[in-house]
């Protein structure tokens, strides 16, 4: 039991990641869990829940149905509701109890699809892993069913991948969309915010993919394999925005992927960053410009070694391990709720992350794209 905390929250789970990734695509996402358990996702992990309608429901799994293996009820309920409300597809996500009882979700999905004639797929979840894994698998699954074989667009274009509200607040997302169209590439598709299923269908037309979060790394791999589309990982924070734009243009020209290289300057100040790997690796690059050239990242989520470096750590949500990791840093960066672990006198840059602090700082999340970062650093007295 490496994941435990006396004071800190935990990250959103894989089922929330599935629902968030598929939210705007016109499907029906069914989380196979007990009545009331969808309140967690819809309250804390889904800022769109009140204002934007989406067909995310829970199966209201009961003890007796779980113990007796009454999976026919899930099938019947899905079929009935889908016939009433005609979703474009169905996605099924599993919970801890259904995992323990060995519920065969892919088989159930197959049966539902056979009855309805509507695409239905299972996303491998268990309510134990983080949103990164859930969203990642959901994006790959939906793309594998709906992405079409299309020729590259006449103008050079890019896709934004991994833009769920769990990682990107609305201000940040708008700023990234504006930035993405400012340096000579046309925005082809965005997955999966401010989009619909047509964005998934035309993913193959882009010349390059920008992976904004580790939730989309697997999708980027899949698109590279299927279409040969290269990808670049990164978020356009501060001065790093220009560098990232040049990486994207280079990748679009050469058709070779670029994983964010880390820069180290042993003579400069140190920064410890806590959070999702792509965002924190990008922030490390951006902060190097302000004299924090020695960076190390603690990613409590499923680690993606492709993005993290040898001095980085993570893969577990353990307060003690994290507190030790933060020792000696000249600056600490992370969600405001991590401030509890920061020793008095150590500068802290608070970057709200919905997948961690939920709604607590939703309205306070700034845009860090381009000059936005400088404004935040100035406000915190860090530049």
Partner 1 sequence: MPNNTMSSHLAAQRYILPVSQASFPEPFAQTLEFNAPVRGPWNIVHMALQIPEAHLLYICARGCLRGVIMTAAEMGAMARLSWIGLSEEDLTSGLLDERCFQAICQIVTKLARRPPLILLYLSCVHQFVQMDYPALLERLKARFPDIRFMDCHMMPTMRKSGPTDEERTKSKIYEALDKAGQTDARAITLIGNDWPLARESVLYQMLAKAGYSLRELARCQSYADFQKLGTSCYLLTTHADALFAAKNLAKRLGLLHLDLPASFTFSEIEKGLRELSEKLAIPLPDLATCQAKAEAALTRLKSELGARPITLDYTLSMRPLSLARLLLEHGFCLVGVFLDAISAPEKEDFLWLQQHAGDLPLIATRAPSLRFARLRAKELGFQGDNVLALGQKAAFFSGSDHFVNLVAGGGLNDYWAIHELARLMREAAAKPKDRRSLIQLKGLGQSSCLGGFACEARLTRPETSDRARRA
d(CA 307, CA 231) in angstroms, rounded, equals: 13
* Residue 22 C-beta: closest distance to partner 1, Å: 15
12 close to 45: Cβ distance less than 8 angstroms: yes
- Phi and psi at residue 356, to the nearest 5°: -110, -60
Signed CA dihedral, 79, 83, 84, 85: sign only: positive
Residue 357 binding partner 1, by CB under 8 A: yes
d(CA 29, CA 129) in angstroms, rounded, equals: 18
Q: Bin 193: left if φ > 0, else alpha if -120 < ψ < 50, else beta.
A: beta
d(CA 100, CA 342) in angstroms, rounded, equals: 38
Q: Which is nearer to partner 1, 79 or 195 (CB)?
A: 79
Q: Is 146 helix (H, G, I), strand (E, B) or coil?
A: helix
DSSP-H helix ranges across 92-204: 96-100, 105-116, 131-146, 170-180, 197-201
Which residues sit opposite 298 in a β-bridge? 274, 313
Where in 4-23 is the site for partner 1 (CB under 8 A)?
A: 4-16
* Residue 44 C-beta: closest distance to partner 1, Å: 4
Nearest to 339 by CA among 354, 322, 355, 315: 322
Residue 191 binding partner 1, by CB under 8 A: no
* Residue 45 C-beta: closest distance to partner 1, Å: 7
Residue 50 binding partner 1, by CB under 8 A: yes
Q: Which is nearer to partner 1, 101 or 150 (CB)?
A: 101
Q: Which is nearer to partner 1, 256 or 339 (CB)?
A: 339
Which of 23, 55, 239, 298 touches partner 1 (CB under 8 A)? 55
* Residue 26 C-beta: closest distance to partner 1, Å: 12
Where in 107-146 is the site for partner 1 (CB under 8 A)?
A: 115, 126-130
Provide the mask over 65-104, with x wherever binding to partner 1 is found by CB under 8 A and - wherever it is not: -x---------xxxxxx-xxx---------xxx-xxx---
Where in 266-325 is the site for partner 1 (CB under 8 A)?
A: 317, 319
Options 33-41, 204-212, 281-289, 341-349: segment touching partner 1 (CB under 8 A): 33-41
Signed CA dihedral, 31, 36, 39, 42: sign only: positive
CA distances, 208 to each of 160, 242, 255, 267, 289 (Å): 9, 16, 8, 35, 26
Q: Which long-range contacts (CB under 8 A, 24 or more apart) does 35-38 make?
A: 35/60, 35/61, 35/62, 37/95
Q: Which is nearer to partner 1, 73 or 152 (CB)?
A: 73
Which of 139, 303, 337, 365 touches partner 1 (CB under 8 A)? 337
Residue 39 binding partner 1, by CB under 8 A: yes
* Residue 357 C-beta: closest distance to partner 1, Å: 7
Which of 61, 135, 160, 288 touches partner 1 (CB under 8 A)? 61
Residue 30 binding partner 1, by CB under 8 A: yes
Options 61-69, 138-146, 162-170, 269-277: segment touching partner 1 (CB under 8 A): 61-69
């Amino acid at each position: 039991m490496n994941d435990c905390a006396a004071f800190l929250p935990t990250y959103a789970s894989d089922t929330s990641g599935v629902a968030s990734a598929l939210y705007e695509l016109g499907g029906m996402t069914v989380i196979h869990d007990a009545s009331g358990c969808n309140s967690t996702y819809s309250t804390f992990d889904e800022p769109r829940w009140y204002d934007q309608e989406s067909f995310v429901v829970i199966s209201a799994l009961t003890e007796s149905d779980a113990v007796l293996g009454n999976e026919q009820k899930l099938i019947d309920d899905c079929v009935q509701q889908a016939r009433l409300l005609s979703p474009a597809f169905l996605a099924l996500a599993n919970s801890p109890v259904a995992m323990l009882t060995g519920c065969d979700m892919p088989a159930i999905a197959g049966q539902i699809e056979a009855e309805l004639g509507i695409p239905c797929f299972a996303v491998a979840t268990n309510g134990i892993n983080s949103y990164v894994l859930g969203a990642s698998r959901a994006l790959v699954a939906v793309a594998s069913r709906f992405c079409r074989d299309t020729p590259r667009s006449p103008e050079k274009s890019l896709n934004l991948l991994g833009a769920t509200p769990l990682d990107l607040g609305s201000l940040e997302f708008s700023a990234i969309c504006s930035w993405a169209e400012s340096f000579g590439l046309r925005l082809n598709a965005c997955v999966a915010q401010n989009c619909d299923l047509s964005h998934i269908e035309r993913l193959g037309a882009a010349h390059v993919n920008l992976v904004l979060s580790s939730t989309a790394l697997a999708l980027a791999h899949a698109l590279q394999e299927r279409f040969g589309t290269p990808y670049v990982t990164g978020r356009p924070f501060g001065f790093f925005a220009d560098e990232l734009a040049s990486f994207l243009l280079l990748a679009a020209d050469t058709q070779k992927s670029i994983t964010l290289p880390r820069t180290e300057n042993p003579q400069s100040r140190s920064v410890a960053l806590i959070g999702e790997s792509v965002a924190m690796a990008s922030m490390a690059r951006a902060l190097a410009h302000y004299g924090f050239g020695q960076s190390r990242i603690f990613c409590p989520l499923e680690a993606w070694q492709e993005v993290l470096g040898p001095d980085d750590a993570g893969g577990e949500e353990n307060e003690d391990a994290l507190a030790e990791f933060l020792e000696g840093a000249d600056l600490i960066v992370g969600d405001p709720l991590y401030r509890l672990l920061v020793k008095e006198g150590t500068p802290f840059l608070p970057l709200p992350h919905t997948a961690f602090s939920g709604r607590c700082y939703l309205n306070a999340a700034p845009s860090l794209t381009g000059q936005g970062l400088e404004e935040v650093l100035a406000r915190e007295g860090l530049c």
